[in-house]
Amino acid sequence: MRFPFGLTRRLMLWLLVFSLIPIIIVGVFASRNFSAQTERQIADVSARTLERASLRLTGLLDEFKSISEYLVLLHTSDTGEHLAFLDAYLHGNTVSDYERLNHSRIFRAATDGFLLSHAYVEGIYLFPEDGSIISNTKSARLTSHVRAADSQWYRNTVEQNGRLYISRSEQFEFLPPGFELLSFSRTIVHPRTKERIGVLLITSKADVFADLLSGLLPDQRIWLTDGSGELLYGDAGGEAPPPIAPDGPQGSRFDRDNDRLLLYRTFSEYDWRLVLSVPL
């Protein structure tokens, strides 16, 4: 029995289609598995990259914390002349010009080593309770007749009750225009009376965080933001990172619109977030 040529062709076509279906199914599943595996590998490598950046940032913050703690200890210890010189500015006491000059000399002697050994530290300032400023800086000259206690960073520092307060890059009133710096500050409290006897401020240029870029590929991006998402540091020309709704102190999500993987890690002590963007 002979089939018409048209029927034979249709049967051959259906046979071809049915034979291709398993190949297509296997190909689709293989492609999906490969894509998922590739995404997992990218996520694993990116997580290690973010971990290294987090360790560098933690080390830097701990270093500033240690410097400030040491300087606070110098001004609250029972030995030496440091405690007496801060006490002199309490309760409206009169401090002579000679005493102020001597106190400035003591302060510079205590902080010169930090300025020389830490390239990113721009200046170290002490604000006694009478509103004066004692400083040791690399380049900036102070603007006179400025009361730091009226500034927001000063009030925020006092509210921290001795903990380190870090403010984003800003123009300080007591510095000439053009000195936009990152600040690390904390209050100094009398060890016995618990009375505040001054505020310590350490300033640094924002590029102190440039080491976060170490190990990144050219098409990867990293940002440091505060808790509200405001940019503190980034390598994308001032561009803010994509919005992230954090689900825990660390995590990741895929930005399908831009075909990128976003990873984040939160530093709860300072309410900061480190965000890494990686192309897929």
Closest to 185 in 3D by CA, of 90, 37, 69, 278: 69
> 119 in helix, strand or coil?
coil
For residue 27, pLDDT over 70 is answered with no
For residue 115, pLDDT over 80 is answered with yes
For residue 232, pLDDT over 80 is answered with no
Predicted confidence at residue 28, as pLDDT, reads 66
Residue 248 vs residues 42, 140, 252, 278: alpha-carbon distances, Å: 21, 41, 10, 20
Q: What is the pLDDT of residues 38-51, one digit of tens each?
A: 567 767 778 888 88
Tell me what the mean pLDDT of segment 127-152 comes to: 78
Q: What is the pLDDT of residues 52-90, one digit of tens each?
A: 888 888 888 888 888 888 888 877 766 555 545 888 888
Contact 232, 214 (CB under 8 A): no
146: number of Cβ within 10 Å: 14
Predicted confidence at residue 170, as pLDDT, reads 63
Predicted model pTM = 0.73
Residue 84 vs residues 88, 116, 197: alpha-carbon distances, Å: 6, 26, 11
Tell me what the mean pLDDT of segment 93-114 comes to: 87
Q: What is the pLDDT of residues 146-183, one digit of tens each?
A: 677 888 888 888 998 888 888 765 666 666 666 666 78
* Two tokens, residue 135: 């400083």
Closest to 190 in 3D by CA, of 44, 101, 54, 85: 85
Tell me what the mean pLDDT of segment 130-145 comes to: 76
Which of 136-140, 197-201, 223-227 is the most confident on average? 197-201
Quote the CA–CA distance of 94 and 91 in Å, as a whole number. Answer: 9
For residue 4, pLDDT over 60 is answered with no
More confident residue, 279 or 28: 279
Predicted confidence at residue 211, as pLDDT, reads 80
| Length, in residues, of the chain | 280
Q: What is the CA radius of gyration of the chain?
A: 30
Beta strands across the sheet bearing 121-128? 134-137, 121-128, 196-204, 180-189, 165-171
Quote the CA–CA distance of 105 and 141 in Å, as a whole number. Answer: 16
Contact 185, 175 (CB under 8 A): no
> 43 in helix, strand or coil?
helix
Predicted confidence at residue 122, as pLDDT, reads 85
Kindly indicate the confidence band of residue 107, based on its pLDDT and cuts at 50, 70 and 90.
confident
